[in-house]
């Protein structure tokens, strides 16, 4: 039992995802058969890096986990880092192409396929609403989507009207007129403005010398 050979270094060419899957399985079986599962985490990590090969070791040295403290690392975390590296990245464009170019085959439910396409292509909020229904039919899907579309249009129109009303109210607010700087003439009590006549320099008065009505300073007695 103590003479099990460790797995050969992982092949770094070809289908890397499949190569890693097989190598990780062999390494796990090796730890179990050799009774190494109870060893400290640093020992198991060192054993993995020793068995995986030089090329994969160089890959590990570029990983972020290699820069962490040894006490923070575990065998599972190191294997997850390799899993993320070898797992091919998801090609979203290709997957969408596969979905939209999918052709219907015989005996395939057309309504279910159309329902799925609507659900998968809608926005996340509406998608979550649709997924709440355990038995979602194409008819119900279309009805929910139309209802949401109407509600969105109404709320948008209401919001726009509120903004326009606020702007209009600001524009028609009357400005405060400045106070007049000139004051109206003051009149004495009991005197009307009609009675206030400017005193003319040519007004005639009874003369105290001759008793006649003469303009000022034009008395013949002078």
Which one, of 23, 5, 6, 2, lies nearest residue 14 by Cα?
Answer: 23
Q: Is 182 within the bounds of a domain? A: no
DSSP letter string, 94-123 = HHHHHHHT----TT--HHHHHHHHHHHHS-
Q: Is the dihedral of CA 149, 153, 154, 159 positive or negative?
A: positive
Confidence (pLDDT) at 31:
95
Enclosing domain of residue 151 = 93-161
Regarding whether 80 and 20 lie in a shared domain, the answer is yes
Same domain, 78 and 99: no
Instruction: Please report whether residue 211 resides in a domain.
Output: no
How much of the chain is helix, strand and coil, in % rounded to 5?
A: 55, 0, 45
Last residue of a domain, one of 55, 86, 117: 86
Which of 161, 190, 213 is at the close of a domain? Answer: 161
Mean pLDDT (10-residue bins), the chain, 222 residues: 83 90 96 93 95 95 87 92 82 70 69 82 82 86 89 84 65 56 51 48 66 70 62
Total number of domains in the chain: 2
What is the C-alpha separation between 117 and 49, in angstroms, rounded?
45
Verify that 97 and 143 share a domain, yes or no.
yes
Per-residue model confidence (pLDDT) at position 87: 83
Is 221 a member of any domain?
no
101 and 157 share one domain: yes
């Amino acid at each position: 039992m103590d003479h099990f050979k460790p797995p050969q270094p992982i092949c770094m060419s070809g289908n890397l995802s499949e190569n890693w899957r097989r190598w990780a399985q062999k390494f796990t079986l090796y730890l179990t058969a050799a009774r190494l599962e109870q060893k400290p985490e640093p020992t198991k990590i060192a054993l993995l890096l020793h068995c995986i090969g030089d090329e994969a070791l160089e890959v590990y040295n570029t990983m972020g986990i290699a820069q962490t403290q040894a006490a923070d690392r575990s065998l599972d975390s190191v294997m997850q880092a390799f899993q993320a590296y070898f797992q091919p990245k998801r090609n979203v464009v290709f997957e969408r192409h596969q979905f939209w170019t999918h052709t219907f085959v015989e005996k395939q439910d057309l309504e279910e396929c159309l329902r799925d396409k609507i659900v998968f292509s809608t926005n996340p909020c509406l998608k979550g609403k649709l997924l709440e229904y355990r038995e979602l039919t194409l008819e119900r899907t279309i009805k929910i989507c139309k209802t949401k579309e109407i509600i969105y249009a109404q709320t948008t129109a209401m919001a726009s009207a509120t903004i326009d009303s606020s702007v209009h109210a600001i524009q028609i607010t009357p400005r405060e007129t400045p106070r007049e700087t000139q004051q109206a003439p003051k009149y004495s009590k009991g005197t009307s403005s009609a009675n206030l006549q400017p005193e003319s320099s040519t007004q005639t008065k009874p003369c105290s010398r001759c008793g006649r009505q003469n303009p000022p300073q034009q008395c013949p007695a002078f």
